[in-house]
Structure 1
Amino acid sequence: MLYLPATKGKHPAPQARPAAGAEALVHPIYARLLRMLLQQAAIDSDRVLAAAALDWNQLLTTEQRLPRDTVIRLVQAAMQATGKPWLGLELGDQAPVSAHGPLGYAAVTAPDLQHCLMVLGRYGPVREDSFSWSFQMRPEGGTLQVIDRLDWGSARSFVLDTMAAALVRVLHAAVGSLPAGLRLDVPLPRPAWVAHYERALPLPLQFGQPTLALHVPAAALRLPLLGADARAHAAACHECDAALAELVQSSMAQRVSSLLGHTPEGSYPRLPDIAAQCEVSERTLMRRLALEGTSFQQLLDAHQQSRTLWLLQHTSDSVEDIAGRLGYTDTSNFSRTVKRWFGYTPSALRKGTLSTAPA
């Protein structure tokens, strides 16, 4: 029997932003692949690793994930050594499906492209927990949205480029070619080296967008996958379920985010309500969130921001209706809040208008 992840009624994952020193939980295989890239370019990879206090022999055998600060130091050293601001594109394009573990296998063994994207939207945190993942359907197609939850500082463009190129490679491997009608939103300014984007990501690109988002037309969602395999898909999804459950249990921020994600629109719980559902005291909840580099208010704000962005860009509801659905009685106050969050008015954030919106 085909195993399909349940996503109906699920809101986009919150865009929490932990503090600067928080763990990014990046799997070490991506650092291993980066070393391979450096070696191919005849660069002293051990010196680059040393700049991030990493040792190749340990990196080769460990499964312990890398914290944010280590990743940033590694990226800075690698980009300085190569002189390539587009290095993240090369890393993502090089990563095989197997590099993404059970997530990659679950994606490419799904029956069609829609379910492949559903898998990525549901289980993305299993491989990359520094991003919020969601897949949403609409009449004209579907959108996989990936929001960076962490302040990556100088490494942000590298991390986003790697994510974008890796996603495109997975889709290419799953279908055999990139379907017509795809579009990728990139939350970075258009760079001077855009030609490297066009080579690594051969699909229409829209720079300056609020999030990384892959838009897929309805016809493409029905495309069958080359490696569709119901038994293998079920096994990979079950493995992802187990990993996701472990991730949620180990992170109080993830538990709170999950509870907020299932909250009805306009009815947001208070701190005491969430503490009770997590079976801890308010003080314990605040302390554990602080240790993870965030707070209840940050997580609540992130959920509201994510939901606001989705409703503005993927529904035809009026700004007044959206404000009401999110619990705002004053549309002007809602507009001011949106401008403070994103730097754009609600009308500018509407789908298809952001690229021409004033800064």
Structure 2
Amino acid sequence: MQTSTATAPDLGMPAIYLHLLAELLGTLGVDEQELLHRVGLNPHRLNSMDLRVSQSQASEFVTRAIIESGEPGLGIMLARELRLPLHGTLGTAVMSSQTLAEALDLMTRFLTLRAPQLEVSRLIKGDNAIYRVHCARDLGPLQGFILDAMLYGCVYMGSQLTGTLVKGCRMERRGPEPGYIHRFRQQIPVPVIYGASDDALIIPVSQLDLPIRFSDDQLAADSRSQCEVALKQLTEDAGFACRVRRVIETSHPFPPKLARVAATLFVSERTLKRRLQEESVSFQALVDQVRLKQACDLLEKTGLNLGQIAETLGYADAANFTRAFKRWTGISPSQHRNESRKPRLREPQHPVAAAL
């Protein structure tokens, strides 16, 4: 039974996936930046492996993207662009696995990190392993897009992992065959059968022992531990304040007005304030937290001057930004930049991690 979107926790969607989708829209003649702005998303913030976008904004962007591009097969197109390192720590863990079975087990265990709307279960039936994919709640227009991206993405990634097509693999999909699928048939390396009882990947058990090309035991152990920590943090940070912060982090314009954030989360301004108060935080405190994080990133990683950083963060001038930064940290922005650029001892990087 599916849970309603209103009652289920919103763990967001990794921003990097929407960044890739926006790039695809550009190739289809859609002004992707203007579309992102209309949805209230900052294009420059989406190219991040760490940020997540609220489900409501992700759904609105995908829906508008399909309508304005006239391409209902955007999920399949996105699947072709996905590379394992783009899946963060989970991608690294999967790449460093010993076998295809181990990689699929990791995907099943930690899928929440990349697609919290989906659940995967495995069933061995005769000579086949059946990986069923289920949407835990009704996602509306986002549902077909996510299922396409996930299932077709797994097919393409199987070849990335093993260096060859996984023999005997096929895909089953619920419902009638969509009209757009014929345009992608030649690009899909496995049979796809519609009208099935489940959305699933079927893989011969004999293929599960295929070795992974990038296998590395130490990197595998390290990345799995990181996945455990990330999963614990993601599921524990499922409160309302975290949802508000996600909207603030990727907002255009920045900083967002309280009314805009409330509308994005489908609550009234009064309800938003009350629910934040219940978690002992204010809207302005969340804005300041995000501002401080973005300020530090801009000071450490860019050559923007203080006036440009102030404008990016929504301050009237560099003086106002400097006063706020000193209040938060006790030092000036220039001091922080200088300190961050002092030479530091670097730990040797694992050669496989460097290759990713």
Q: Give, in whole Å, the separation in 2 of the partners of 1:49 and 1:62.
A: 18
Q: Give, in whole Å, the separation in 2 of the partners of 1:64 and 1:76.
A: 21
Which residue of 2 is the match for residue 35 of structure 1?
22
Structure 2 length normalisation: TM-score?
A: 0.62
Q: 1:213 aligns with which of 182, 200, 204?
A: 200
Which residue of 1 is the match for residue 223 of structure 2?
236
DSSP-derived class of the 1:178 partner:
coil
Check 1:245–1:200 CA distance in 2 against 1; reply closer, same or farther (3 A cut). Answer: farther
Q: 1:158 aligns with which of 133, 137, 145?
A: 145
**Deviation (angstroms), 1:157:** 1.7
Count of aligned residue pairs for this structure pair: 240
Which residue of 1 is the match for residue 4 of structure 2?
18
Runs of 4 or more, structure 1, over 4 Å off, are none
2:158 paired with 1:168 = no
Which residue of 1 is the match for residue 32 of structure 2?
45
Gaps of 5+ in 1: 1-14, 253-287, 292-359
Q: 1:195 aligns with which of 169, 178, 182?
A: 182
Check 1:61–1:197 CA distance in 2 against 1; reply closer, same or farther (3 A cut). Answer: closer
**Cα distance per residue 1:200-239 (max 9 Å; x no partner):** 4321212133432111101111111111111111111111
Q: 2:50 aligns with which of 63, 71, 80?
A: 63
What is the one-letter code of the residue matched to 1:51?
R
Q: Give, in whole Å, the separation in 2 of the partners of 1:243 and 1:217.
A: 31
Which protein shows a greater Rg?
Answer: 2
Give runs of aligned pairs for residues 59-208 of structure 1, distance below 5 A.
Answer: 59-60=46-47, 63-208=50-195
Query: Does the aligned pair in 1 maintain the 2:97–2:103 contact within 8 Å?
Result: yes
DSSP-derived class of the 1:145 partner:
strand
**Deviation (angstroms), 1:163:** 1.2
Q: Give, in whole Å, the separation in 2 of the partners of 1:155 and 1:250.
A: 23
DSSP-derived class of the 1:133 partner:
strand
Which deviates further from its counterpart, 63-72 or 111-120? 63-72
Check 1:61–1:138 CA distance in 2 against 1; reply closer, same or farther (3 A cut). Answer: closer
Identity of aligned residues (%): 25
Check 1:49–1:200 CA distance in 2 against 1; reply closer, same or farther (3 A cut). Answer: farther
Query: Does the aligned pair in 2 maintain the 1:157–1:188 contact within 8 Å?
Result: no
Query: Does the aligned pair in 1 maintain the 2:11–2:234 contact within 8 Å?
Result: no
Structure 1 length normalisation: TM-score?
A: 0.61
Check 1:16–1:152 CA distance in 2 against 1; reply closer, same or farther (3 A cut). Answer: closer
**Deviation (angstroms), 1:89:** 0.5
Q: Give, in whole Å, the separation in 2 of the partners of 1:87 and 1:228.
A: 31
Q: Give, in whole Å, the separation in 1 of the partners of 2:140 and 2:6.
A: 9
Q: Larger RCO: Structure 1 or Structure 2 (Cα < 8 Å, ≥ 6 residues apart)? A: 1
**Deviation (angstroms), 1:137:** 3.7
Q: Give, in whole Å, the separation in 2 of the partners of 1:184 and 1:62.
A: 29
**Cα distance per residue 1:291-348 (max 9 Å; x no partner):** 9xxxxxxxxxxxxxxxxxxxxxxxxxxxxxxxxxxxxxxxxxxxxxxxxxxxxxxxxx
DSSP-derived class of the 1:193 partner:
helix
Give runs of aligned pairs for residues 316-331 of structure 1, distance below 5 A.
Answer: none
